[in-house]
Amino acid sequence: MPVAVALGGDPVYTYAATAPLPENLDEYLLAGFLRKKKVELVRCLTNELEVPSDVDFVIEGYVDPAEELILEGPFGDHTGFYSLEGYFPRFHVTCITHRTDAIFPATIVGIPPQEDGWIGKATERIFLVPIRMTVAPEIVNMHMPAEGVFHNITLTSINKSYPGQALKVMNSLWGAGQMMFNKIMVVTDKEVNLTDYLSLAKVVSERVDPVNDVQFLRGPVDILDHSSARYAYGSKIGIDATLKLPEELSSEASEEQGTAGGDPNREILSRFPEVCAINDDLLKSGISLVILAVKKGKRHHLRILAKELLEQGMLKQVKFVLFVDDVLDIKSLPEVVWISANNIDPLRDCFYIETVPGVKFKTLLLDGTRKTGTYDDFQREWPNVIVMDDEVIRSIDRKWNDLGMGPFISSPSLVYKRLVINSGATFYEDF
């Protein structure tokens, strides 16, 4: 199979290559549409493929589909984590050409937000109308937060007119091209501002029944999703945060959990040493979410802990409880969202605790911690977050003034080194 890799040229080529186009639709058609003139193509030297005439580099070659796949990786990726090793086709290079004074295009990916986040933002805006025209006409707006690294989180508002419409939109989007890779989808009403996260969280808190308005299903996930037990196959969660019509209201009476007395945070920290910190600041804003930083020390630790906390009334009237690792800064919500969205496989890591046979607490518990074989029966390697090593940081610091980039900024890697487990890109056990 002949292959040609084109690098550089009009920046629109780079965007078009990432665009979630339907099958058999040429990316160069989109590039020509966006730049308002056709893309001039020229033939390669060692095969019959064509590439844009104004690119900076062309790497020509071939792939033999019958050849054994080869192992590559791990690589730093846009998720903010290293991608795991994988088997991929071998690319045989037959020719490399370049323009005079060619510029090799590159970007740095890693912990969001990075430059590549704006490519995702372009897709979000450019494809909103086509999705509305072809998939779900009731969609009013769509937003993919940077912390969701494109595919992990999608926020959608709709013009709702009949019961079950939010579920219809979820399934329509999950069945539309690369939207199949989305893992967490929230659907709300048209008047909700999707980019005002605190306001949106309050809407979710007020309108969502954690049992009846949360849907789970299995399906394809991005190959970079490290939380799934199997390569490219995992689960998704859909949250219906729309105002409910009479037909959608549950006939089950909500279980009253009472009001916690005294100082539950202090009591939790004193009685459960594995809980290192608690962030319940959102409760003051009417958002029923509590975040607990936990250091796991035994198999299925969080299930055991969650059961004890709820049975002893430590988290009364809280709809959502999120567990994260003790190394996280739980006051930094962007960090918590980014890590947790990467770390959860919804069907495995979102759960309820039954304290009375057949009756569930109206509390959804989410395990946003890293997974290991020892504590979680997880059988794949787990990746580290992407940070620069000390020598790279020192090198950039020394060159800073010569680079003419303005006032000195210390390396962001220094903030995130606490999240690194060891010196490798991946690890299997948590020591």
Assigned token pair, 105: 């295009």
Count of Cβ atoms closer than 10 Å to residue 409 Cβ: 10
Q: Tell me how far the alpha carbon of residue 403 is from its chain's centroid.
A: 33
CB 331 within 8 A of CB 285: no
Rg (CA), the chain: 24
Q: Which residues of 223-234 are buried (b: 16+ CB within 10 A; e: fewer)?
A: ebbbbbbeeeeb
77 belongs to the catalytic site: yes
Distance CA 279, CA 65 (A): 52
Contacts of 174 (CB under 8 A, 6+ apart): 180, 182, 185, 217, 219, 236
Amino acid at the residue 226: H
Residue type, 82: Y
CB 55 within 8 A of CB 8: yes
Q: Which neighbouring-strand residues pair with 215? A: 238
Active-site residue (options: 26, 56, 77, 281)? 77
Enter the tokens of residue 151: 């595919």
Nearest to 244 by CA among 296, 207, 206, 292: 207
Give catalytic residues, as residue numbers: 77
